[in-house]
Structure 1
Amino acid sequence: MKILLTALTLAAISLPVIAQTPEQEPAAKTEWILFDGKSLKDWEMVDMGGSGDVTLEGGQLIINQGDSLSGAVYKKVEELPLINYEITLQAKRLQGVDFFCGLTFPVGDLKKCATLVCGGWGGSVTGISSIDDMDAANNATGTYQRYEDDKWYSFRLRVTAANISAWLDDKQIVDQDIKDRKVSLREGPMDAYAPLSITTYNTMAAIKNVRMKALLAKP
């Protein structure tokens, strides 16, 4: 018995020591649901005086018609990427004759922002405000798009260090290189909605499915 125990002890001593592998760190988050249809807790209404209320109705973010700008700012921008990302959302105009989706977004810095304007200047102009101090009605990104009331439209915005692109449904409507170009907000009350927000102008709109994802590789 003693011999057997000694042999087992020697065998145990001779076994290789297997080091424990430390737990892998969780992968960095790459996708965010900015509006889930259940709560507005991550959004803060900005009242410019005469702005319409922002409410939650039927799983939709409703921006009620105001005298001019109305909308809400996303409150957790510090958790999001500032460059190399895409934002997608769906929007529809419920009433009014001006833009029903103004998506303000950062371009590499919280103090450097622009706005994707959808349906401005009488209901059709769509583009980026501003490029080289020219708004969407006066720069190369501006196009005329036909929007119908009470119809959902899908928008996708892509922001990289070299380019800003946007899609309306499956059609690309913006492809703007920004190297050596000035990117900024249109001067005026839009400053209050930086760095990330959704706004309307004298128009009532519904918004849903607001999402963001980081671009892990150059598109």
Structure 2
Amino acid sequence: MNQSITRFGGRAAWLCLFFVLTHCGPPRRSEWKLLADEFTASWKAAGIAEEGSVSIKDGEITLHPGQPMTGVRFDPWKSADLPRMRYSIEYEAMRLEGNDFFGTMTFPVNEAHVSLVIGGWGGTLVGISSIDDMDANENNTHGNAYFENNRWHKVRVEVREDELRAWINDKLFVNVSTKGHKLGLRPGDIEKCAPFGFASFATQARIRSVVIRRL
């Protein structure tokens, strides 16, 4: 009996050690501040033809006017272990000059990418591009808002299994089911902002306080 107890005790000890090694490691990261010092060097100009200059200083991105578009891209989404589903994004955007989109964000939804357009098509359009090959001005995420220049606008996006939601200045603008729908980017320069980035169109824009969180 004593030998049986000893064998059982030894086996139990190994099981406990296995549990500790596999379940009690470092906690999984749940938040990323993408304009903090550790990530600043990971932002690159998108490489759009005739784009304006891009600068990052004091935790803010500035997109200078392009001919007509300027973009910036955060490359190491996968290597930084950022999520592609069940996550939220928060940031603030400001249009300093111009009257078109200024805080448009491209982001992953599982293996696809879409853009949240802010202030497009003459300055007021909000929506997701693209769903079922329809741009923000064509699909049912289409909305309108007035965006005052030289004012910070707070944005929050939630990416869930079958749903996208987006708030601007705490007002819900996008609440759409993605189940059974094709998601993708509008063909063209915006594709250079994938997997994650921001773009402006004939405007000068600033971006700050970019935070990703697991849901």
TM-score of the pair, normalised by structure 2: 0.86
Structure 2 unmatched runs, 5+: 1-9
Contact preservation (8 Å) 2:48, 2:71: no
Does residue 155 (structure 1) correspond to residue 155 (structure 2)? The answer is yes
CA distance in 1, matches of 2:136, 2:92: 20
- Would the aligned equivalents of 2:75 and 2:195 in 1 still touch at CA under 8 Å? no
Give the percent of matched residue pairs that are identical in Structure 1 and Structure 2: 34
The answer to whether structure 1 residue 195 and structure 2 residue 195 are counterparts is: yes
2:99 corresponds to which residue? 97
Distance change >3 Å, CA 150–CA 37, structure 1 → 2: farther
Structure ranking higher in helix proportion: 2
Partner of 2:213, secondary structure, is strand
Range that drifts further, 183-192 or 149-158 = 183-192
Give, in angstroms, the shift of residue 49 of structure 1: 1.7
Hey, what does 2:82 align to over in structure 1? 80
- How far apart are residue 58 of structure 1 and its match? 4.3
1:17-166 matches, cutoff 5 A: 22=20, 24-36=24-36, 40-78=40-78, 79-109=81-111, 112-166=112-166
Separation (CA, whole Å) in 2 of partners of 1:27 and 1:204: 40
Deviation, 1:102, is 1.0
Provide the C-alpha distance between the structure 1 equivalents of 2:39 and 2:90, rounded to a whole number of angstroms: 18
Partner of 1:6: none
Which deviates more, 148-157 or 62-71?
62-71
How much has 1:47 moved relative to structure 2? 2.3
CA RMSD of aligned residues (A): 2.0
SS at match of 1:166: strand
Report the 3-state secondary structure (helix = DSSP H, G, I; strand = E; otherwise coil) of the residue aligned with 1:119: strand
Check 1:138–1:199 CA distance in 2 against 1; reply closer, same or farther (3 A cut).
same
Q: Could you say which residue in structure 2 is the equivalent of 1:11?
A: none
> How far apart, in 2, do the equivalents of 1:123 and 1:38 lie?
34
Instruction: Give the Cα–Cα distance (whole angstroms) in 1 for the partners of residues 148 and 197 of structure 2.
Output: 23
Q: Number of paired residues?
A: 198
Name the TM-score, length of structure 1 as normaliser: 0.84
Structure (1 or 2) with the larger CA radius of gyration: 1
In 2: Cα distance, 1:158 partner to 1:66 partner? 29
The more displaced of 85-94 and 190-199 is 190-199
Per-residue CA shift, 1:14-69, capped at 9, x if unaligned? xxx9x797572111111111112797312011221210111024432101111122
Q: 1:58 to 1:97 in 2, by over 3 A?
A: same
For 2:30, give the aligned amino acid.
Answer: T
Aligned to 2:214: 214
Asked if structure 2 preserves the Cα contact closer than 8 Å seen for 1:103 and 1:197, the reply is yes
